Amino acid sequence: MNKDAKQKFIEIQNLFKRMSHELVCVVVESYYIWRTLVFSRSITEVGKEVAEKNAKLMNLYKEFFLPTEQSHLHVFITGLLKFFDKDPQALSFNKLINKIQTNKNSFTKEILESIYPHLKEMGVTKDYYSPILQSDIDHFEGIIAKHKDLIENLKDIRDKQLAHTDLKTHDRTFVPNEVEELIQAIQEIFNKFTKTFDQSSTIWDHLKEDSIRSTNFLMENLERGEKVRLEEIRKKWGNYE
């Protein structure tokens, strides 16, 4: 067995792990924290009474909430675009595809089974194993084509509003539902590539749920704390508004 090829295989595995932890996790968490905060003030989402209550509460701590929302917006937009980065030095889907294709003939069934012996014991590795499939690459390119307008729009926001501030103002916006579709598509293609490459898959569903729950929990606790603070003031100073 080619030891250099095995080492290369492990290096690419580690790049997939980095992409999952540094990009997918961060993008999902930042997006849903941002979304939960912004939509908590939306009358159409939570109703007039709740929206006004949240807006009033967040305004009390605007020095925290305004930069927090902006930071998460920045993180998830720049993070999403990293998946499609064409810079040869960047960790992106294009980089991983190129690395796998460069070593495609060296990455064999034997190398995969030497790293995961249980695959050989279970007899699940196909004799015609290939580390990458053209159908997966085509699917990835289809995602880019489908979400081309959104990706270009997010690039404009990143380049003209986040990475630096243009002298000329811009009113670029995006539809949150479209962003969520793109996030789901990225997770899907990530798992397609890893399933083909080393028979692995990753679940990120908990990131969305945990981010929303934690953000709502923060708001609820802040509201409780504000009620306690006002009650303490009333006890000390009498009626206070």
For 120, the domain range is: 3-237
Over residues 25-72, the pLDDT tens digits come to 999 999 999 999 999 999 999 999 999 999 999 999 999 999 999 999
Q: What is the pLDDT of residues 195-224, one digit of tens each?
A: 999 999 999 989 999 999 999 999 999 989
Of the candidates 87, 104, 97, 81, the residue with the CA atom closest to the CA atom of residue 23:
81
Give residues with Cβ within 8 angstroms of 113, minimum separation 6: 119, 120, 125
- Count of CB atoms within 10 A of residue 47's CB? 11
pLDDT for 163 equals 57
Q: Which residue has the higher pLDDT, 170 or 127?
A: 127
User: How many domains, in total, are found in the chain?
Assistant: 1
**CB-based contacts of 50, cutoff 8 Å, min separation 6:** 40
Q: How do residues 93-122 score in pLDDT, each as one tens digit?
A: 999 999 999 999 999 888 888 888 877 666
Task: Name the residue with higher pLDDT: 117 or 14.
Answer: 14
Instruction: List Cβ<8 Å contacts ≥24 apart for 55-59.
Output: 57/219, 57/222, 57/223, 57/226
CA separation, residue 241 to residues 58, 144, 183, 225, 231 (Å): 17, 54, 45, 16, 11
Question: Which pLDDT score, from 0 to 100, does residue 167 have?
Answer: 39
Q: What is the pLDDT of residue 140?
A: 96
